Amino acid sequence: MADEHADVVVAGAGPNGLMLACELALAGIRPVVLDALPGPSPEPKANGLVGQVVRMLDMRGMYRDFTGDEGPPRPSPGWMFAAMPLIFPEGRDNPMYAMLMPQPRLVRLLEKRARDLGVDVRWGHELVGIVPGAESVALSVASQERDYAIAAGYAVGADGGRSLVRKSLGIDFPGTTSPMVARLATCTFPTSTAARRSPASRFRDSVRFASGTAALTGAG
């Protein structure tokens, strides 16, 4: 017996899950978003959004709110692909748009928008079981306060590479593992040091955000 009923339950309150929840809310659906974490992760992770999703944010009126830019997003003159710099010729339709923003800030902004639209975002509520049925999906949820069951019309797996939704449905995740080991560090530098920038292109070794923080790659 289900304790709750929902049209749609989204597993994962990352950028994908929250953005989908916002789109569903605009269509008149009030989804429930579950995430096992107690709140948005402070880990840097991604540095922003790339591609047509940036234009979609602008179409939804979110680009200006998120970036503070008065005008619409502009295509990027170049980018890095497989460690190769790409320069896009002028005068052609350029699909490459970018919005530089640390993922923690992006998640906070998307969560605020989702809540403003009436989405039920539940941090600290972990999806621990999923059983598809003929008419609905039975979901088991665990939290510090209680364990409970939700009957949903649809369940969406936006819960990352180790997705419980994907595994429960037997959906394979084929691929190969790279032998490369990557390390990420969050550092604080004196203002005098941070003010000195490398002459190298930002597409090659660094990305500086409006907040003054920078993400560096390729550092030895």
Helix/strand/coil for 17? helix
Domain residue ranges in the chain: 4-168
Helix/strand/coil for 23? helix
Q: What angle do CA 79, 84, 86 make, to 5 degrees?
A: 40
The span from the CA of 70 to the CA of 16, in Å, is: 25
The span from the CA of 174 to the CA of 212, in Å, is: 39
Predicted confidence (pLDDT) at residue 46 exceeds the cutoff of 60: yes
Q: What are the residues whose beta carbons fall under 8 Å from the beta carbon of 171, sequence distance 6 or more?
A: none
Residue pLDDT, tens place only, 117-138 = 999 999 999 999 999 999 999 9
If one looks up domain 4-168 in CATH, what number appears?
Answer: 3.50.50.60
Predicted confidence (pLDDT) at residue 218 exceeds the cutoff of 70: no
Residue pLDDT, tens place only, 1-28 = 789 999 999 999 999 999 999 999 999 9
More confident residue, 48 or 125: 125
Whether the model clears a pTM of 0.85, i.e. scores above it, the answer is: no
The shares of helix, strand and coil residues in the chain, as percent rounded to the nearest 5, are 20, 30, 50
Question: Which helix (DSSP H) or strand (DSSP E) does residue 193 occupy?
Answer: helix 191-194
Assess contact for 61 and 120: CB atoms under 8 A: no
pLDDT of residue 182: 76
